[in-house]
Amino acid sequence: MEELTHFDSEGRAKMVDVTDKQTTARVAIAGGGIVMKPETLRLIKERAMSKGDVLAVARVAAIMGAKQTPSLIPLCHPLNITSVAIDFSINEKENRIDITATVKIAGQTGVEMEALTAVTVAALTIYDMCKAVDKGMVIKDVMLLEKHGGRGGSYKRGS
């Protein structure tokens, strides 16, 4: 196991110094989901929720969330993100919307936190837009699925 890099020799929190790291293409893919009542899922699919097109708003919120990650996670570097893609998949059998975020950068540090934040913000936005009809929704399984680039190389969940 590698040492924790966000602490100095005295155990104090620090931002990792990436000055000497090589700029490389990096990508992170995160996923998660939100489970709801069948009626809530139907309203989302039909774009009949009173607040508007839930998935369109959640997509924009997720992109904004990825870009705001260093404002939310104290030791994250501000990054010049080059791409954020958000995909939704409706799973009617489980009354679930699966969310996937793919974030890209050419930089000196990875974008895993930005991808995870994007998924989480998308799920929170769905919850916010639908809570009037379904307060029992559950956000689940937010996780890193893949990452590529940088010194650490590639990672794929389950491999």
Q: Tell me the C-alpha distance between 124 and 116, whole Å.
A: 12
Catalytic residue among 87, 128, 134, 141, which?
128
Establish if 4 belongs to a structural domain: no
CATH number at 30 reads: 3.30.70.640
In degrees to the nearest 10, what's the CA dihedral of 116, 118, 124, 125? -170
Establish if 3 belongs to a structural domain: no
Using CB atoms within 10 Å of the CB of residue 48, give its burial: 0 to 12 exposed, 13 to 18 middle, 19+ buried. exposed
Let me know how long the chain is: 159
Q: According to the model, what pLDDT value does residue 4 have?
A: 59
For the chain, helix, strand, coil in percent to 5 are 30, 30, 40
Give the total number of structural domains in the chain: 1
Establish if 90 belongs to a structural domain: yes
pTM of the full predicted structure?
0.92
Establish if 72 belongs to a structural domain: yes
Per-residue tens of pLDDT for the chain, all 159 residues: 456 577 777 778 878 888 888 899 999 999 999 999 999 999 999 999 999 999 999 999 999 999 999 999 998 999 999 999 999 999 999 999 999 999 999 999 999 999 999 999 999 999 999 999 999 999 999 999 999 998 888 999 998
Establish if 153 belongs to a structural domain: no
Domain that holds residue 51: 24-147
Establish if 91 belongs to a structural domain: yes
Q: According to the model, what pLDDT value does residue 3 have?
A: 63
Establish if 159 belongs to a structural domain: no
Distances (CA, A) of 45 to 1, 40, 41, 95: 44, 9, 6, 11
Q: Tell me the C-alpha distance between 8 and 15, whole Å.
A: 9
Whether 128 is catalytic: yes
Q: Tell me the C-alpha distance between 116 and 49, whole Å.
A: 26
3-class secondary-structure state, position 21: coil
Establish if 5 belongs to a structural domain: no
